[in-house]
Amino acid sequence: MKTRLFCAVTIGCTLALTAHAQNFPTKPIRIIVPFVPAGPTDNQARWAAQQLTAAMGQQVIVDNRPGAGGVPGTEAVVRSAPDGYTLLAGNPGPLTIAPSVRAQMPYDPLRDLAPIVLIARSASCICLHPSLPAKNVKEFVALAKAQPGKINYGTPGVGTVGHFATELFSFQAGVKLNHIPYKGAAQYTADLIAGHIELAINQFAISAPLVNAGKVRCLGATSRERSPLLPNIPTIAEQGIKDFESYNWNGVLAPTGTPPAIISRIADIISKQLATPEARALYSGQGHEASGITTTAYGDFMKAETEKWAKIAKVANIPKQ
């Protein structure tokens, strides 16, 4: 009797979820962006919202919830009902780096969130002040080894992509650099141009105009391939730091337990749009690489990134706060 009752309940739940997925959406959807408006995460979330609105006939609203490195906004999605009506604009900070720098996490990104689609990856340029006498990675490594801890680099703060990417470079190159955290990219970029710091990592959309104007020198690209915005600049890996790569990235996720049919539908809409020449030209022109990998592949990517940054946090002795 109990077995029959259990089976009946299970079948009932399955049918209810199937019906929900087939009728989805019947009301507006929210994409929570755990950062301020106008940044890359916000811009790509708004692009995704436009694609979903057009395809599904329901309004998709972007809801900015900035603060504390994106953790509270991400937690809001984790605590939401897994019904497809609350999505997350994902970013490395609160998803793959925070577990290595926060003593207490209110969620487990790999357990509590279901990856839907990776929208784009964004490579960066390792920029130097022009007064630094190093024209390539080999010369810079020799210079840094001759004066360990004397070369200052700026980032938006402890636990940011720029911080971990620079520490990854330091580890693989075997050099010691001095970290100076700032409150944002605008501040450390101004200090780099003025010569108050010697090095900073910036995305290509910011770096390219400064490099072309001679205000900074690009040591190399953090990507596997050269950037179309600065095609003459070799990658760090090309210059002997084997397998070096670092990206910022943005994607869409949902609370774990969201019906697979809903996740598949959202992933299908966005990934198909990302494959269009218009989308690829849009993102390439901004210094991004349109992706489109979905669900399992996106989850595998996040797991690998989490493990990579955990290793860097350990070797760089970055304390949890």
The whole-number pLDDT of residue 13 equals 47
Considering the entire predicted model, what is its pTM? 0.89
Instruction: Summarize pLDDT for 130-155 with one digit per residue, the tens.
Output: 999 999 999 999 999 999 999 999 99
159 or 62, higher pLDDT: 62
DSSP state for residue 214 in the 8-state scheme: T
Residue 9: how many other CB atoms lie within 10 Å: 10
Of all residues in the chain, the percent with pLDDT exceeding 70 is 93
User: Of 15-19, 115-119, 258-262, which range is least confident?
Assistant: 15-19
Q: State the chain's mean pLDDT as an integer.
A: 93
Token duo for residue 287: 């210094």
Instruction: Please give the backbone phi and psi of residue 252, each rounded to the nearest 5 degrees, phi first.
Output: -120, 135
What's the CA gap between 117 and 238, in Å, rounded? 29
Q: Does the domain made of 124-239 have the CATH classification 3.40.190.10? A: yes
The whole-number pLDDT of residue 19 equals 53
The whole-number pLDDT of residue 57 equals 96
What's the CA gap between 267 and 251, in Å, rounded? 10
The whole-number pLDDT of residue 8 equals 47
User: For the packed helices 137-146 and 161-173, what is the interaxial angle rounded to 10 degrees?
Assistant: 80
User: For the packed helices 260-274 and 2-23, what is the interaxial angle rounded to 10 degrees?
Assistant: 30
Per CATH, 43-65+73-121+247-315 and 124-239 having the same topology is answered yes
The whole-number pLDDT of residue 106 equals 97
Domain ranges (residues) in the chain: 43-65+73-121+247-315, 124-239
What's the CA gap between 115 and 173, in Å, rounded? 33
Instruction: Summarize pLDDT for 23-72 with one digit per residue, the tens.
Output: 999 999 999 999 989 889 999 999 999 999 999 999 999 999 999 989 99
Torsion of CA 50, 47, 60, 52, to 10 degrees: 60
Q: Does the domain made of 43-65+73-121+247-315 have the CATH classification 3.40.140.10? A: no
Token duo for residue 299: 């989850």
Per-residue pLDDT for 89 more than 60? Answer: yes
4 or 229, higher pLDDT: 229
Mean pLDDT of the 71-85 span: 98
17 or 112, higher pLDDT: 112
What's the CA gap between 275 and 24, in Å, rounded? 24
Instruction: Summarize pLDDT for 2-29 with one digit per residue, the tens.
Output: 455 544 444 544 445 555 577 999 999 9
The whole-number pLDDT of residue 184 equals 85
